[in-house]
Amino acid sequence: MKQLLIAALMLSGFGLVHAESEIFVCVDANGVKTYGNVGDGKGCKKVELPGLTTFPAPAKKSAKTASAPGDFPKVDDTTQKKRDTERRQILEDELKSEQKKMTDISGQYNNGEPERQGGERNFAKYQERTQGLKEDLNRTQKNIEALQREINNLNQ
């Protein structure tokens, strides 16, 4: 039974073209079983397998079925323009905020040499704060770039 299962798995891996071919199991003098599509030698027997069941692929949906149903709520042009204007304003406000933050952090970072603070007698604490400022600067720069992309996408 185990050999039939292996043969069936092998057959399913070959696809539909080879589904009709014959499979033989051959046992040599040492009792080792081998499977193949040719059974010429002694000790070879044809394996009977159950039929292969196939299903057709589902039909592709047309563009009409992919569109919104007729009762789907729609927004009129005036409302949509108002929403777009509000969105642009929010993005521009966020951009200004991030740019101000960038200016503040850049001033503190001082090109990688920020002023030491009173509690930073230990050089490791100074380096840790410098690294944190650098990470904040990079993160803020990425935020500015993302906001600018969003604003540019609104123009298209």
Please give the DSSP secondary-structure letter assigned to residue 51: P
List the domain range (segments joined by +) for residue 37.
2-47
Question: Residue 90: what residue type?
Answer: I
CA distance 126 to 134: 12
In this prediction, residues 17-38 reach a mean pLDDT of 79
In this prediction, residues 125-132 reach a mean pLDDT of 89
Say whether both 41 and 83 belong to one domain: no
CA angle 106, 111, 112 (to 5 degrees): 105
Say whether both 93 and 141 belong to one domain: yes
Say whether both 79 and 136 belong to one domain: yes
Say whether both 84 and 146 belong to one domain: yes
* Residue that wins the pLDDT comparison between 41 and 114: 114
* Residue that wins the pLDDT comparison between 8 and 152: 152
**In this predicted structure, what is the pLDDT of residue 20?**
59
Each residue of 68-103: pLDDT tens digit? 677 788 889 999 999 999 999 999 999 999 999 999
Is the pTM for the entire model greater than 0.75? Answer: no
Domains in the chain, number: 2
Say whether both 108 and 147 belong to one domain: yes
**In this predicted structure, what is the pLDDT of residue 13?**
53
Say whether both 35 and 84 belong to one domain: no
Domain presence at residue 52: no
Domain presence at residue 135: yes
Domain presence at residue 60: no
- Work out the pLDDT band at 60, boundaries 50, 70, 90: confident
Could you give the 3-state DSSP secondary structure of residue 87?
A: helix
